[in-house]
Structure 1
């Protein structure tokens, strides 16, 4: 098994390295599906240049990353520019390691819960019980899914700052599953500072470690202290607090209507200005309004709750990118045991593949050829996001159905014979 991991790590690194050094990279790194005003490396370099010239970075509306990201990027560009490709590939490999560790920890938890609840299960639930070998394969597939996902590869190859965010997210999820309260709070503060929306992961973290009041206190303490330190350091780096408007204010108000794979740009291009604030609040609340109902239903499975929240924020954030989508999709093999209950796999798969291909085509027809318009491109992005919603809801329904069958039994038959759980 270790040999298999080494092979896929090597192949995943090589895929990224070859794309970074191929003629395709010039076309990939500027794609609106990959780079946004928040994660574009071109904007990072512009911010570093302005900072080096002593020009206020946040006054021009070009750079919208955090001051700490600016400081780290400046160090990388000025001192490690010849090794940027290797650094970004290494970050993706570290992210993969955290995902594998998190998936492994989660599978152990699933087996433990199954062992504890086995006496409560129906007598005919044997066919759908979890098997250690299947779960181990699921962990391996998590690594393969992230390393070979086209979404993750292009995001890394384009040197987007989503690579940093995904690393912090993976570390946060791992800390949550291991019960490391201080680590979880600190890493969640870092990833929230970086991209704002992951703050919703505070809820699954509390559910995971909420059995101990001490752990909850540790989470809030480390989170708040880390946020305070990050903001203090940021104010020192940027020379004031204007970065808040240029970063989080930019995320919330979404003034840049450059097309992307999200939903904001089209609606607010067409929106009357006097309706803008109302619909802006409506759109932004979509990323958080589902936290409470989902947490109520999935309170016993914070990891699945985390996946659902990551997927929803990838759809409803103001400036999403393919890197956000590739991250949460790489976790799906952890729930390999739910595939038997999925009903929309073919539909979702066809929608994701077709929209991933049609998106760049429609964009080029609209922007460069002038033979299409914004409606063509938005129709593709709308279908892409609809496919993600179908994927998440299908997975959640599959979880509910399996839980029902475990405790109430089921009569799964194929040609009159009892069905078995086929996970090969």
Structure 2
């Protein structure tokens, strides 16, 4: 009954905000809408397609052709249901995350049971019970439904709502052992935004764990299913565009080359605005390697036994370092933080991170108004806020990882830490 009330309240809140006079302002906010997910650009793309004009010939539309054809159909047949549709998709995302978290809890309990023999006697009390872990599923649901970032993302009717639903479906399917569905949903999310491709690694690990097939063939099957699904979506998109693959440059190419430097909550726009043009290619490669490839191997090697933590960290890192992030991406990965509630006592930066999120979220719109409307600030002020916002996220990620390492060390070695016969403690440097 409690869950139904949560869904009802969250749904009414989203639907009501979409129909307020402030909706247009919210839908155009730089924190919510980007050149990739903007509702305004989606409308323009649909209009051009309806007029038999290729929307990818200009520089305004960058969504995938599949999303284009779906929304073209909805605009033509039932435009009045779109606010309800976005609300329903966001509630579906919350439900999928809720179910995924329950499956993740079962996986966590199985791993804890397997490794129980390695736990020191004095640390036995730190082992988590099923009841303690099951509570986290309710927190996951509540955090997503009532997180201001998730609510504003839905109210702005951005296509990130669809991307989040696909990612949630992929993770939920993987956690329950449905490999083909997981790969298909992840391929669709990747086809839409590219950066979800990172999740193929933890999803392959989860499928191998759930289906008891921890061998190379299991990972190859998952990778093959993902590649085939992605290739099929690329082919379908080309078919929609009359056999042309020119759309690729205005979708994947747009994400990778960052031609639109409209301010957002990310780090790319300011750097490439200030940079000399002849260094552009070098730094595009450096930034995109950082976002897509740099962390995946070391994190996978270190946390190969914790795919759930790997999912959380990779979602957060891809949000911080992607070319066109929005607060909808932040709200999605923050829903996974309650899964690590047992690490909170080991975290050292909780208060600092919480204050940083609150302050930067309030300062962003304020500084934007001072810069754009009042003329009493400049781009440096807004970038300072976005840089602080990114720093808060990095602090959250590093603190979570270090808390996991400290708990792991304590479980194996007990609470008493001695170095050269003297008490010692672990500190983050």
Alignment partner of 1:382 is 2:391: no
Q: Secondary structure at the match of 1:36?
A: coil
Superposed, 1:14-413 pairs within 5 Å as 14-210=12-208, 211-239=214-242, 240-287=244-291, 288-411=293-416
Counterparts of 1:135 and 1:24, CA distance in 2: 39
Quick check: 2:97–2:141 contact (8 Å CA) kept in 1? yes
Write the deviation string for residues 77-102 of structure 1: whole angstroms up to 9, x where unpaired. 12121111111111011111110111
Q: Cα offset for 1:179?
A: 2.7
TM-score by length of 1: 0.94
Quick check: 1:359–1:377 contact (8 Å CA) kept in 2? yes
Counterparts of 2:80 and 2:362, CA distance in 1: 33
Counterparts of 2:296 and 2:59, CA distance in 1: 32
Quick check: 2:35–2:41 contact (8 Å CA) kept in 1? yes
Q: Cα offset for 1:182?
A: 1.5
Q: Cα offset for 1:232?
A: 1.2
Counterparts of 2:215 and 2:96, CA distance in 1: 25
Counterparts of 2:229 and 2:113, CA distance in 1: 38
Quick check: 2:200–2:223 contact (8 Å CA) kept in 1? no
Write the deviation string for residues 16-36 of structure 1: whole angstroms up to 9, x where unpaired. 112111222122111000000
Query: Runs in 1 of length 4+ with deviation above 6 angstroms?
Result: none
Match of 1:4 in 2: 2
Q: Secondary structure at the match of 1:362?
A: helix
Q: Cα offset for 1:226?
A: 1.3
Q: Cα offset for 1:214?
A: 4.1
Counterparts of 1:32 and 1:238, CA distance in 2: 30
Counterparts of 1:332 and 1:281, CA distance in 2: 31
Counterparts of 1:79 and 1:354, CA distance in 2: 43
Write the deviation string for residues 266-301 of structure 1: whole angstroms up to 9, x where unpaired. 001001000111111111111120111100111001
Q: Secondary structure at the match of 1:125?
A: helix
Counterparts of 1:265 and 1:27, CA distance in 2: 22
Counterparts of 1:359 and 1:206, CA distance in 2: 38
Counterparts of 2:339 and 2:11, CA distance in 1: 22
Counterparts of 1:126 and 1:186, CA distance in 2: 41
Quick check: 1:8–1:147 contact (8 Å CA) kept in 2? yes
Quick check: 1:184–1:219 contact (8 Å CA) kept in 2? no
Q: Cα offset for 1:231?
A: 1.2
Q: Cα offset for 1:312?
A: 0.5
Counterparts of 2:174 and 2:290, CA distance in 1: 24
Write the deviation string for residues 341-396 of structure 1: whole angstroms up to 9, x where unpaired. 11100000000000000000001100111000000000000000000000011001
Counterparts of 1:183 and 1:369, CA distance in 2: 50
Counterparts of 2:114 and 2:236, CA distance in 1: 47
Q: Cα offset for 1:411?
A: 4.4
Q: Cα offset for 1:75?
A: 1.4
Let me know the Cα RMSD of the aligned residues: 1.2
Q: Give the gaps of 5 or more residues in structure 1.
A: 413-424
Q: Secondary structure at the match of 2:264?
A: coil
Match of 1:420 in 2: none
- Number of positions where the alignment pairs a residue of Structure 1 with one of Structure 2: 410
Q: Cα offset for 1:121?
A: 0.8
Quick check: 1:171–1:187 contact (8 Å CA) kept in 2? yes
Counterparts of 1:355 and 1:43, CA distance in 2: 27
Quick check: 2:205–2:219 contact (8 Å CA) kept in 1? no
